[in-house]
Chains A and B, each alone.
Chain A
Amino acid sequence: MATIQEKISALVPEATFSESGQLYVTVPDAQWHKLAKALHDDKESPYDYLIAIVGADWGETLGCVYYLESTSTAQRLAVIVQTADREKPMLHSVCDLWQSANLYEREVYDFYGIVFINHPDMRRLFLRKDWVGYPLRKDYNADPALNPIRLENEESYDTSYSVVEKEDGTLEEQRPVIFTPEQYVVNIGPQHPATHGVLRLRTSLDGEIVTKIDPYCGYIHRGIEKLCESLTYPQTLHFTDRLDYLSAMQNRHALCLCIEDALQIEVPERVKYIRTIMDELMRISSHLLFWATFCMDLGGTTAFFYGFRDREMILDILEETTGARMSFNYNTIGGVMADLHPDFQRKVKEFCRYMPGSLKEYHELFTGNVIAQQRMKGVGVVSREKAISHALTGPSGRASGWACDVRKRMPYGVYDKVEFNEVLRTEGDVFARYMVRLDEILESIKIIEQLIDNIPEGDYALKMKPIIKLPEGRYFRQVEASRGAFGVYIESRGEKYPYRLKFNTPGLMLVGSLDELTRGGKIADLIAIGGSLDYVVPDIDR
């Protein structure tokens, strides 16, 4: 069996390799699509999961880092591709191989202006069409006069822009049609209670049947990644709590892990225990909120009150220790902000005893309901292959039978010391996604019960210098957030500020799959499907 280096070298002799935590391959753009196809179709370990595309501005050139993973062998590979110049940056698209690339490439286009050849839909994703400049480029002009607050309504365009490479190698600009004038297009959002935030979906309908959905993101795009580039590492931490505020602990855990990895420090055992327990508490609270809002979307208002009632118990526990109900700011580099409250263990144990009974109540109240079952079963089915292609991680991926749990694949914290099942289902419909979440609550309780009595004594934080400089290099770290794999990419040039910091969030991919999941279904199913994917919009938009 040839190693992956040999395979790549045989195919692309120009490829250069480097090692920084994992294997990085640099290939020229002209060979990139060929290599991508070979990697994707590889017989021994097909790289079928595109984790992230990180756009970057490297001064002379722009480019992307592609993180790939093979779901069968768990091998990872990162590919670096650079553009020829800054004036007219172009790269070849890989969205024909991985469907997740569709929105990732649009994001890179939006932030860096890199046009992806053969991408069918090169529109801006987060910013308005009339936005001047590409904000994440290092030479971006942030003059507010260029981009004043525009109060006139944004126009929605029915055609897109794309650059297609013809057989003889010449490029041709095209205007693909998104919606034809005959199509009946309804606008759902951005202010709509069932979109779970400010997501806008242009939906074309044929009677009651959804024929196409065109998601518009960016209604809460806060430019966090750009802000991070001018903040020191400890200062960047607080943004993670405000990305996906329902997995605040996990997100912050990811960034802390990534920085600790880079510094090569080992946190005390106590910190690992505390972080793991906090992550699981956060996951339970997020799934409870999912249950509450999802049932409300389907018309079960009572569920809303039940879900919030139990969620408040977790918030009380977290508040005692962290001092906040939502933006906890708890994890820090090398530890946590404060030690556990003396009542913490007692209250958590109380909650662990209480919750399973509550879950039973949930099942009696909603899961078994005939109307609910009919609205959930067989709706919005996504197969395992599609889930991988769309990079649907988290409960949504596991409902399709993809064992994508980062806690199992690459254990962090103390997940390697606890026993828990990765909840898997194979139906891939709304009901499966719903059940996976509820069953995960039980698994989380199981994890907490194993840990809560065994928290070792010791320091709750390492003493860190106020200014932290990461050694030069690229770092990528993932954790399992409530909604899926949450990744952090840091590119450091040895300074106290990150050169590039990217949050690879699960939410964007959930939205990317929405079109395919809802196509052919009823418009009411759109609400059920959207609810079951459980995206959080600031997580999508960042």
Chain B
Amino acid sequence: MEVKIKSMKYEDFKDNEYLENLVAELNAAGTNVVVGCFDDLINWGRSNSLWPLTFATSCCGIEFMALGAARYDMARFGFEVARASPRQADFIMVAGTIVHRMAPVLKRLYDQLAEPKYVVATGGCAISGGPFRNSYHVLKGVGEILPVDVYIPGCPPRPEAMFYGLMQLQRKVKVEKFFGGVNRKQKRQEFFEGK
């Protein structure tokens, strides 16, 4: 099965293998046709209206703002409704360094996001701590406290890179099992219980 994204060709994406594994997993689960069709429909809607939570701590946040401005215009992909409240957002774009003092706040914001929810780690700091990795007050990546769906490397990533990352998130959303899958709190449990 090919996961179609309107804006970019399938072969232009880098990690199709990962996605194919997800599809194979989905196929192996053997979903009912009717439910599967509904899954498709809902995922189509969800993937084209992913609303980010405005959560910018540093440099990457400015590039995220550039994403919203006219030149890059993330409205083309359906990301434009950046919400200030986690209750109304679908994913959290962790743009910038996460430090010890911020960690509980970020965790709380994540908890307040409605399911299904996603985390995008943007920039070197959010991925691994970046240039501040050895600092006493910096987390070695947001992955230490939250399950991350997409990593966007760069310091800060270019707006194009952010789009690429967000399109990867769209693709991921498209192959998810919605009913009995992500509409339950499965993923969260796996992450936090595995710890």
Contact = CB atoms under 8 A, between A and B. Distances in A.
Contacts of B97: 220, 222, 538
Interface in B61-103: 61-63, 65-66, 68-71, 84, 96-97, 99-103
B145 A220 contact: no
Task: Report which residue of A224, A239, A246 has the largest number of chain B beta carbons within 10 angstroms of its beta carbon.
Answer: A224
A222 B99 contact: yes
A289 B62 contact: yes
Q: Which of B54, B57, B103 is the most central at the interface, judged by chain A CB atoms within 10 Å of its CB?
A: B57
Contacts of A538: 57-59, 96-97
Contacts of A128: 100-101
Contact of B109 (A147, A191, A197): A191
Interface string B32-63: 00000000000000000000001111110111
A128 B105 CA distance: 13
A308 B71 contact: yes
A163 to B, nearest CB: 25
Nearest to B82: A193
A245 B62 contact: yes
A312 B59 contact: no
B12 to A, nearest CB: 22
B131 interface: yes
Q: How large is the interface on B (under 10, 10 to 19, 20 to 34, 35 or more residues)?
A: 35 or more
B188 interface: no
A289 B68 CA distance: 13
Contacts of B156: 325-327
A223 B102 contact: no
A127 interface: yes
A244 to B, nearest CB: 10
Interface stretch (B23-31, B136-144, B168-176): B136-144
B142 to A, nearest CB: 11
B104 A150 contact: yes
B163 interface: no
B95 to A, nearest CB: 11
B21 interface: no
Contact of A220 (B57, B71, B107, B158): B57
B135 interface: yes
Given A193-B84, A312-B71, A222 B65 contact: no
B154 to A, nearest CB: 9
A10 interface: no
Contacts of A17: none
Contacts of B135: 222-224, 226-227
Nearest to B69: A308
Interface string A166-193: 0000000000000000000000001111
A127 B137 contact: yes
Interface in B96-137: 96-97, 99-105, 107-109, 131-132, 134-137
Contacts of A344: none
Interface stretch (A24-32, A151-159, A515-523): A151-159
Given A149-B145, A226-B136, A308-B71, A327 B96 contact: no
Contacts of B158: 325
Interface string A122-163: 000011100100010000101000010111111000000000
Given A142-B136, A218-B99, A538-B59, 19 more contacts: A127-B100, A147-B136, A150-B103, A150-B104, A193-B84, A219-B102, A223-B135, A223-B136, A224-B132, A242-B131, A245-B58, A245-B59, A245-B62, A308-B69, A309-B69, A312-B71, A326-B62, A327-B156, A538-B58
Interface of B: 54-59, 61-63, 65-66, 68-71, 84, 96-97, 99-105, 107-109, 131-132, 134-139, 144-145, 155-156, 158
The 8 closest A-B pairs by CB, nearest first: A308-B69, A223-B135, A245-B59, A222-B132, A223-B137, A305-B70, A538-B58, A219-B102
28 contacts: A127-B100, A127-B101, A140-B136, A149-B144, A149-B145, A151-B145, A153-B108, A154-B104, A190-B105, A191-B109, A193-B54, A197-B61, A198-B57, A222-B97, A222-B135, A222-B138, A223-B132, A227-B135, A230-B134, A239-B131, A242-B58, A242-B131, A246-B62, A289-B62, A325-B63, A325-B156, A326-B62, A538-B59
